[in-house]
Each structure stands twice: as C-alpha cells, then as structure tokens.
Amino acid sequence: MPRTTIMNKIQNSERYQAVLSVYAVLAEKYGSKITVAGGCLVDSYHDKDFYDVDTFISYKDLKDEWKNKVKHKRRRNSHILEVFRDTVDGFDIDIVVVDYSVAKHIRRFDQVFKQLWLDQKGLHMTKQAARDIDAGKITIGTLNGPAIYFRVLRSARKYNMVVDDVDFFLMENFMSSLDKFILPKKYQHMKKEFMPYKNPDELLGRVVYKYSTLYWNVSAMYIPSWTMLKRFVKPYLMRIDWKHIR
C-alpha cells in the first residue's frame, strides 16, 4: 500500500478530525510549530478510540510565556527539556519540549510504524513507517530503555501486528544483558549453557552483548544505533537455526 494511500485513510477518518481540532487549540496556545505525532494518528488509521495526544515542540519555537516555565535547560542524556501537560476537548495532552529538530526526534521513535506526524504543513510519515503499517509488522528504530519490550508487545496486541523476527531476537538478547546487573553469577553461567545463541563466548553473542552492556553502562538515550547493530549482525543472523529459537 503506497504511503499516500495510508495518509489518505488517516485523513478521511472521523478521529483524525478530532486530532485537527486539538492541534488548532495547541498551536494557538503553545506555538504554531507544535507537532502531533505517534499513537493518535495510528489509531485514526485503525479507526480506534484514543484518549491522549502526544505533541512535540522545539524550545526555540515555544511562545515566550512557556519558555519561562521550562525548568530543565538540558536533561542529562536526553534531548527532552520539559513535558507540559494539558487537557483539550477531553483529551489528555503531553507537550514534549525538545532542544533540537522535532522531525529528527520523531524519526527516532522506538517503534518505526509510529513515525508519523501532523504539523503546520500537514500530515507526514516516513517511508519505513508506511512499510511497516502496510505489512502489519513492528520493527524497532531506537532502543531507549527496557520498557521497549512491553511497549512492543502492547502494540502488537492492540493493532494485531507481528514483531519482526530479527528485531525480537536482538531485543531479547539486549534485555537479557541486564542479567549481569541483577542475577547471581551461578544463574548467569547456566543461561550460557542452555541458551547458546545468547552466549557471549560466541561471535554473535559477543557483538550483541558488547552493544547491550555499552548501552546500559553509558545510559545514553540514542546511542549506539539499533539500525547499525542490525546491519552489522545480519551475516551472523543468517546462520541461526531459527526453529530452536521461535
């Protein structure tokens, strides 16, 4: 399904009209360059009810009265400066203030199919988001914390989507690296023996394990790159006997 067809379906939804109404109020109140993104637009495509709307705006585009209310000039390891909360027409609103490009922020959403947004120029979505919506598949754009595992499962259930095999496999390995922080050494050793595809002594295991521990130790929001990891391990993933994993 072409990207334009997906956007037309969203724009013809009654729920999208509610998004436009909320957007107009927020643009007047916080700044004309405010952007609605993510879940409510996906819900409009699937004709599902929603009760909250996520919006984003760059600090420089905020109206002066709101700039003075931003408490965090810069949060450690994050581009998010502040989150204001509001209510419009019965919808709960999060206004996320960032210190760089809003479009760039949206392109780093953890679930790729949610990379669509409405701004003063209209409705937009990435090619990758259109691809995943059309395929009914969830791929990961950025891992920004352990809760991603549960957000992906919730999305899969809500929208009747499947999680891409490679993303699920890498996410499972990524999450399992937390064991080194919370599990006894004896159990960690048992896991290596019974789950060889997670074994850091194997080449693929070493790559994923190194990536994961670097992430947790640095506590960085956007690095290292999930896309880069997928590209790097692709030759090794082709050698996996998937029937022992699924």
Pick the residue with more confidence: 168 or 111?
111
Distance CA 110, CA 145 (A): 10
Please determine, looking at this structure, whether the domain spanning 3-159 carries the CATH number 3.30.460.10. yes
Q: Render pLDDT for 16-41 as a digit per residue (tens, 0 to 9).
A: 999 999 999 999 999 999 999 989 99
Distance CA 114, CA 106 (A): 8
Q: Render pLDDT for 147-197 as a digit per residue (tens, 0 to 9).
A: 788 899 999 999 999 998 888 877 777 776 666 655 556 555 555 554 444
Mean pLDDT across 77-100 = 89
Cβ atoms of 161 and 113 within 8 Å: the answer is: yes
- Among 69-73, 79-83, 212-216, 220-224, name the one with the lowest average pLDDT: 220-224
Distance CA 246, CA 244 (A): 6
Sheet containing 80-88: give its strands across: 80-88, 91-98, 52-58, 35-37, 116-119, 122-125
Above 90 in pLDDT, residue 127? yes
- Residue 118 bridge partners (DSSP): 36, 123
Tell me, what's the pLDDT at 223? 46
- The whole-model pTM stands at 0.79
Q: Render pLDDT for 65-76 as a digit per residue (tens, 0 to 9).
A: 999 888 765 555
3-class SS letters over 117-146:
EEECCEEEECHHHHHHHHHCEECECCCCCC
Phi then psi for residue 86, to 5 deg, are -145, 175
- The single-letter code of the amino acid at 146 is P
Sketch the domain layout of the chain as residue ranges.
Answer: 3-159, 165-244
